[in-house]
Amino acid sequence: MDFRLNEEQQMLQDTVARLVRGEYSFEKRLEFSETEAGFSEAFWGQLSELGLTAVPFSEELGGFGGGGVEVQSVMTELGRGLCLEPYLQSVILGGGLIAQAGSDSQQEQWLGGIASGELKAAVALQEPQSFYDLNDVATRAEKSGDGYVLNGRKAVVIAGHCADLILVSARTSGDTREADGISLFALSPDTDGVERRTYPTIDGSKGCDITLNNVQVGADALLGEEGKAADVIEYQSGRAIAALCAEAVGVMEVANELTLDYLKQRKQFGVPIGKFQVLQHRMVDMMSELEQARSMAILAASVADIEQSDERRRILSAAKNVIGRSGQFISENGIQSHGGIGMTWEYNFAHYAKRLITINHQLGDDDFHLERYANLLQVG
Amino acid sequence: MNMNYTAEELAFRDEVRAFLDEKLPADIAAKVKAFRPLTKDDHQRWQKILSAQGWYATHWPEEYGGVSWSPVQKHIWDEESSRYGVPRSVPFGVNMVAPVIIKFGNEEQKRTYLPRILSGEDWWCQGYSEPGAGSDLASLKTRAVRDGDHYIVNGQKTWTTLGQHANMIFCLVRTNTEVKAQEGISFLLIDMDAPGITVRPIITLDGEHEVNEVFFEDVKVPVENLVGEEDKGWTYAKFLLTYERTGLAGIGLSKAALAHLKQLASRRLKNGRPLIENTTFSQRIAKVEIDLTAAGISNLRIIASVEGGGVPGAESSMLKVKGTEIRQSINDLARRAIGPYALPFVEEELADGFDGEYLSDEHAAPLSAHYFNNRKLSIFGGSNEIQKNIVSKMILGL
Per residue in B333-379, pLDDT tens? Answer: 999 999 999 999 998 998 888 889 999 988 899 999 999 999 999 99
* β-pairing verdict for A267-268 and B197-203: unpaired
Q: Are A131 and B340 within 8 A, CB to CB?
A: yes
Which 267-296 residues of chain B touch chain A by CB within 8 A? 268-272, 275, 280-281, 284
Q: Please tell me which of the candidates B159, B207, B272 has its beta carbon nearest to residue A340.
A: B159
Q: Which of B336, B340, B269 is nearest to A160 (CA)?
A: B340
Q: Are A202 and B369 within 8 A, CB to CB?
A: yes
Q: Are A129 and B269 within 8 A, CB to CB?
A: yes
Chain B environment of A358 (Cβ under 8 Å): 342-343
Q: Give the best residue of B126, B205, B331, B370 to mutate against chain A (max A CB count within 10 A).
A: B205
Q: Are B280 and A278 within 8 A, CB to CB?
A: no
What is the model's pLDDT at position A358?
A: 98
Q: What is the mean pLDDT of residues A229-246?
A: 98
* CATH architecture, domain A231-375: Up-down Bundle (1.20)
Q: What is the mean pLDDT of residues A147-163?
A: 98
Which residues, 6+ apart, have CB-to-CB distance to B278 below 8 Å? B270, B271
What is the model's pLDDT at position B245?
A: 64
Chain B environment of A203 (Cβ under 8 Å): 343
Cβ neighbour number for residue B68 with a 10 Å cutoff: 10
Mean of per-residue pLDDT scores for chain A: 97
Q: Are A158 and B346 within 8 A, CB to CB?
A: no
CA–chain centroid gap for A231, Å, is 19
What is the model's pLDDT at position B248?
A: 77
Residue ranges, CATH 1.10.540.10, chain A: 7-118
Q: Which of A114, A56, A107 is nearest to A90 (CA)?
A: A114
What count of Cα atoms within 13 Å lies in the side-chain half-sphere of residue A262? 21
Q: What angle do CA B373, B378, B380 make, to 5 degrees?
A: 80
Nearest CA in chain A to B365: A202
Q: Please tell me which of the candidates A269, A351, A362 has its beta carbon nearest to residue B136.
A: A269
Q: Please tell me which of the candidates A126, A336, A361 has its beta carbon nearest to residue B379.
A: A336
Which residues, 6+ apart, have CB-to-CB distance to A268 below 8 Å? B133, B134, B135, B136, B139
Is A340 in CB contact (< 8 Å) with chain B?
A: yes
Q: What is the percent of chain A where pLDDT is above 90?
A: 97
Q: CA-to-CA distance for A118 and B32, rounded, in angstroms? A: 47
Q: What is the mean pLDDT of residues A152-171?
A: 98
pLDDT bracket for residue A169 (50, 70, 90): very high
Q: CA-to-CA distance for B257 and B260, rounded, in angstroms? A: 5
Q: Are A340 and B134 within 8 A, CB to CB?
A: yes
The β-bridge partners of B215 are B156, B198
- Lowest mean pLDDT across A148-152, B82-86, B360-364: B360-364
Q: CA-to-CA distance for B359 and B277, rounded, in angstroms? A: 24
pLDDT, tens only, A33-91: 999 999 999 999 999 999 999 999 998 888 889 999 999 999 999 999 999 999 999 99
Q: Are B272 and A357 within 8 A, CB to CB?
A: no
Task: Report the gap between the CA of B345 and the closest CA in chain A (Å).
Answer: 5
Which residues, 6+ apart, have CB-to-CB distance to A309 below 8 Å? none
* SS3 category, B196: coil
pLDDT, tens only, A297-338: 999 999 999 999 999 999 999 999 999 999 999 999 999 999
CATH topology of domain A122-227: Butyryl-CoA Dehydrogenase, subunit A; domain 2 (2.40.110)
Q: CA-to-CA distance for B252 and B81, rounded, in angstroms? A: 8
Chain A environment of B340 (Cβ under 8 Å): 126, 131-132, 155-156, 361-362
pLDDT bracket for residue A380 (50, 70, 90): confident
Q: Are B372 and A202 within 8 A, CB to CB?
A: yes
Q: Region of A117 please: left (phi>0), alpha (psi -120 to 50) or beta.
A: left
Q: CA-to-CA distance for A148 and A30, rounded, in angstroms? A: 41
Domains of chain B: 7-89 (no CATH), 124-231 (2.40.110.10), 246-394 (1.20.140.10)
Q: Are A155 and B206 within 8 A, CB to CB?
A: no
Q: Give the best residue of B270, B343, B350 to mutate against chain A (max A CB count within 10 A).
A: B343
Q: Give the catalytic positions of B in this structure.
A: 244
Is B138 in CB contact (< 8 Å) with chain A?
A: no
Q: What is the mean pLDDT of residues A190-213?
A: 98
CATH topology of domain A7-118: Butyryl-Coa Dehydrogenase, subunit A; domain 1 (1.10.540)
pLDDT bracket for residue A253 (50, 70, 90): very high
Task: Decide if B201 contacts B162 (C-beta within 8 A).
Answer: no
Q: Please tell me which of the candidates A209, A276, A344 has its beta carbon nearest to residue B202.
A: A344
Q: Are A199 and B159 within 8 A, CB to CB?
A: no
ipTM given for this complex = 0.96
Nearest CA in chain B to A128: B360
Q: Which of A257, A251, A327, A297 is nearest to A83 (CA)?
A: A251
Is A335 in CB contact (< 8 Å) with chain B?
A: yes
What is the model's pLDDT at position A60?
A: 84
Angle between helices B315-337 and B384-394 (to 10 degrees): 150
What is the model's pLDDT at position A9?
A: 94
Is A128 in CB contact (< 8 Å) with chain B?
A: yes
Q: Are B368 and A357 within 8 A, CB to CB?
A: yes
Is A127 in CB contact (< 8 Å) with chain B?
A: no
Q: Are B271 and A133 within 8 A, CB to CB?
A: yes
Residue ranges, CATH 2.40.110.10, chain A: 122-227
Q: CA-to-CA distance for A333 and A286, rounded, in angstroms? A: 8
Which 208-247 residues of chain B touch chain A by CB within 8 A? 211
What is the model's pLDDT at position B363?
A: 87
What is the model's pLDDT at position B244?
A: 64
Q: Please tell me which of the candidates B159, B339, B385 has its beta carbon nearest to residue A132.
A: B339
Q: How many CB pairs under 8 A join A and B?
A: 139
Is A155 in CB contact (< 8 Å) with chain B?
A: yes
Taking 90 as the threshold, does the pLDDT of residue B242 lie above it?
no
Q: Are B375 and A203 within 8 A, CB to CB?
A: no
Residue type, A238: G
Residue ranges, CATH 1.20.140.10, chain A: 231-375
What is the model's pLDDT at position B313?
A: 76
Is A256 in CB contact (< 8 Å) with chain B?
A: no
Is B312 in CB contact (< 8 Å) with chain A?
A: no
Q: CA-to-CA distance for A301 and A238, rounded, in angstroms? A: 10
Nearest CA in chain A to B335: A361
Task: Report the gap between the CA of A208 and the closest CA in chain B (Å).
Answer: 8
What is the model's pLDDT at position B183?
A: 95
* β-pairing verdict for B209-222 and B226-227: unpaired
Q: At A252, which helix (H) or strand (E)?
A: helix A229-265
